[in-house]
Every structure is written in structure tokens, then in C-alpha cells.
Amino acid sequence: MYEKDGEQYFIVDSHLHFWDASPENWVPGQEEYAKGFISCFHDYQSLGPPETHDTIEKFRKQTVEEFRRHVFDEGKVDFGILESTALKDWYAKGFNAVEQNAVLLDQFPGKLRVNGSFDPRNGEAGLQRLEQDAETYDLKGVKLYTAEWKGASRGWRLDDPAAIPYFEKCLELGITNIHVHKGPTIWPMDKDAFDVSDVDHVATDFQGLNFIIEHVGLPRIEDFCFMATQEPNVYAGLSVVTGGLMHARPRFFAKVMGELLFWVGEDKMLFGSDYGIWTPKWQIEGLLDWDYPDDTYSDFPRWTDASKRKVLGLNAAKLYGLDVPEHLRLAPDQGTPAAKDDAKLVSGGVL
């Protein structure tokens, strides 16, 4: 657990990776794209504090010991969710496919859960693989990358008819947490393939699923907020919001956080460090210390101790059914973590 000023916090990092983007894993003939993708990630790392930056050579492939040090030893994360991304058109073994992430489960028993992934362009074979992964890894979530290239196809949409059987299969298998990358593009992917315009359709049709929109649709923050406030099962994943903005663009970070707190609500926001782009420690410390920079932000909801506890861990713990020690839970008058109907206006009225 994380302790600050005598207060203890239950931390869930809901957006972790364990990737291999080393040259040895580049698909022959696709080296330009494999190199460009991880180089774009490395460029994003420069938005964090200088002392956290790595060389591109070190950045391309993570080790178990680095993961342990950054996430658990220094970050004091209580529980982590590993998000899987295949990208097998560019990386021979996958970038951080579910089987790659899963090697960490035995290393850190009781500390991690791995999420699967699916791609509706894989048809019936993909559905069978989803079933197998659900049984093998006891999946409670998946990570979707709608801009992933597959042959001549450069992306897909959540509301594509081919995706419907996959969402139905998730319901059948008890995979209730659907993490979707909807944020800044990564070269060479197409920006429009990460647009949030397909989210509300499936969120309405599949109300038994929780759609955690990673990176909150940045730079389309207004589109995301106005959509998420009317869809009770749409949540805001804060990866990139904290890592990409808190240090490099503090005033824009304050605006984004204010909009999220106003429209989406503190009960529907989940911390994610986006490791290994950024490490969790400085982001957790920053969120615990953060407040609006001045009174020009007075029309936004306040960032309270209850807000911090929900966003840094209790909301994700609720969605994933994690056991939170009693002394780290909220008092009854501090609200209900992950409540779907709790986005509120500053005045306190329910939207």
C-alpha cells in the first residue's frame, strides 16, 4: 500500500504492459513499422520527469526485475492489471500479447491479473481463442486496439457487426471489463481509428459490460465527456492523462481532470500508469499532491481525499472484484466506488 502523510491508500494500476519491441522480435519486412511504433512510445515518455527517461535501447524490452522495481518496490502498487496488445503484423511473438504478459503471473502471485484481447477480423477462430484464453487465464477483462493493422486492413470499429459476437461471448464468459484504446495515435496507426464515436453504440447495447476508455479519447476530451456522462457503463481510464499531461502540461491536465470530474464523476475514473511508457511512482505521488492551480478552476468539482482513494484504486478494485483491506475502504458517507449513476454537477444534482 502507498502511505503519505500518515494516510494509507490502496493502489490499483489498471494499465500495465510487459512488452518486447526489440529488433529480434520485428517481423521481417515490417521493420520500419515495428521500429516506428516503439519509437513513438519512447517520444511520449519524454513528457514525464527527465529522471524517469530511458534510452531507446533499454526502452524496447522490459525485464522482470525492472517491472518489480518500478511497479511494486518503488510504485507501491497493491494490484496491477496487465493490458494485452498483439500487433503481430509487426512483432513476431506479439508486442505484449496475453501469453507474454502472463509470464509475470507466477512471478508475482496474487498481485496481478492479465487481460486478454480480441480482434473481430479473426472471425470464428478468434472467438475460439477468446474462449481458450478465458479458461487459461481466468479473464475478467480484455484490451481492444481498434487501430491495429491486419493485412490490408488498418483498423476496425466497436460497432462493426463482426464485433457483436465477441461482446456477446464476453458476456457469456464473464469478461465484463472492456478496455479500449481511444486516445493519442501512435505512428503509423491512423488517428481516426481511435475516435470515440463508436463507443456509445456498444455501451448502450451491452449494458452488462463496463467500457473503460483508455486515455479518455484525448485529444477528443469534450466528445468523450459528453458521451460518457450519458452512458452509465462507460468509465475513464486515466493512462496518458497523468503520464502525458501532469508533468508536461499542468494547466491542461487541470482542465482535463476538471472536465472528467464534472461530467464523468470520481466514481468512474481509474488510475493507470501506462507502464512501461511511464513509471507509476511519480504519477501516484503527483495525484496525491495535486490540486487545481488557481481559482480560475472554481467551477469544477474538488479533488478530495475520497476522490483520490476511488480513482487510485477503489474503483478498479470494485470492477475486478478485488478484496480491499477494511482499513483502506471508504467510510459510508464517502460514496460508492465505481457507482454507475454517480456523475454529478458541481451543484450536486444528478445528470
Q: Yes or no: say if 132 and 56 are a contact pair by the CB < 8 Å rule.
A: no
Q: How far is CA 33 from the centre of its chain?
A: 23
In angstroms, the CA 199 to CA 335 distance is 27
pLDDT exceeding 90 applies to what percent of the chain? 93
| Residue bearing the bigger pLDDT, 336 or 247 | 247
For CA atoms 175, 228, 44, 319, give the dihedral sign.
negative
DSSP string, 290-330: ---SSGGGTTSPP--HHHHHIIIIIHHHHHHT----GGGSP
The reported pTM is: 0.95
Instruction: Give kind and range of the element (H or E) at residue 282.
Output: helix 280-289
The stretch 61-69 carries a mean pLDDT of: 97
Separation CA 312–CA 104 (nearest Å): 22
Q: Are strands 2-4 and 7-9 parallel, antiparallel or unpaired?
A: antiparallel
CA distances from 64 to 10, 95, 104, 108, 341 (A): 23, 16, 7, 10, 39
Q: Which residue has the cell 529522471?
A: 51
Predicted confidence (pLDDT) per residue in 282-304, tens digit: 999 999 999 999 999 999 999 99
Homologous superfamily (CATH) of 2-334 is Metal-dependent hydrolases (3.20.20.140)
pLDDT number for residue 343: 53
Question: What pLDDT score was predicted for residue 203?
Answer: 98
Query: Which three-class secondary structure string do you get for 111-178?
Result: CEEECECCCHHHHHHHHHHHHHHHHHHCCCEEEECCCCCECCECCCCCCCHHHHHHHHHHHHHCCCEE
Residue 349's pLDDT is 41
Residue 350 in this model has a pLDDT that exceeds 90 = no
Average pLDDT of the chain to the nearest whole number: 95
Q: How far is CA 32 from CA 89, 94, 146, 186, 331, in A?
A: 12, 16, 21, 13, 53
pLDDT of residue 340: 85
267 pLDDT exceeds 80? Answer: yes
> Quick one: pLDDT at residue 332?
84
Task: Please tell me the predicted confidence (pLDDT) of residue 194.
Answer: 92
Q: In residues, how long is the chain?
A: 351
Domain ranges for the chain: 2-334
**pLDDT range class, residue 1, cuts 50, 70, 90:** confident
Q: Given this model, what pLDDT does residue 341 score?
A: 74
Mean local confidence (pLDDT), 327-350: 73
Q: What is the pLDDT of residue 285?
A: 97
Q: Is residue 217 a contact partner of residue 196, using CB atoms and an 8 Å limit?
A: yes
Indicate the pLDDT class of residue 43, thresholds 50, 70 and 90.
very high
Residue 110, SS3 per DSSP: coil
Q: Is the pLDDT of residue 63 over 90?
A: yes
Read out DSSP for 8-59?
A: EE--EEEEE---B--GGGBPTT-HHHHHHHHHHHHHHHTTS-GGG---HHHH
Average pLDDT over residues 85-92: 97
Q: What is the pLDDT, as a whole number, of residue 11?
A: 98
Report helix angle 123-137 to 164-173, nearest 10.
20
Q: Which residues, in sequence order, are CB contacts of 171 under 8 Å at separation 6+?
A: 206, 208, 209
pLDDT value of residue 351: 40
pLDDT in tens, 129-184: 999 999 999 999 999 999 999 999 999 999 999 999 999 999 999 999 999 999 98
pLDDT tens per residue, range 110-135: 999 999 999 999 999 999 999 999 99
Q: Is the pLDDT of residue 348 over 80?
A: no
Under DSSP, the state recorded for 95 is: S
By three-state DSSP, how is residue 101 classified?
helix
Give pLDDT, residue 342: 57
Across the range 320-336, mean pLDDT stands at 93
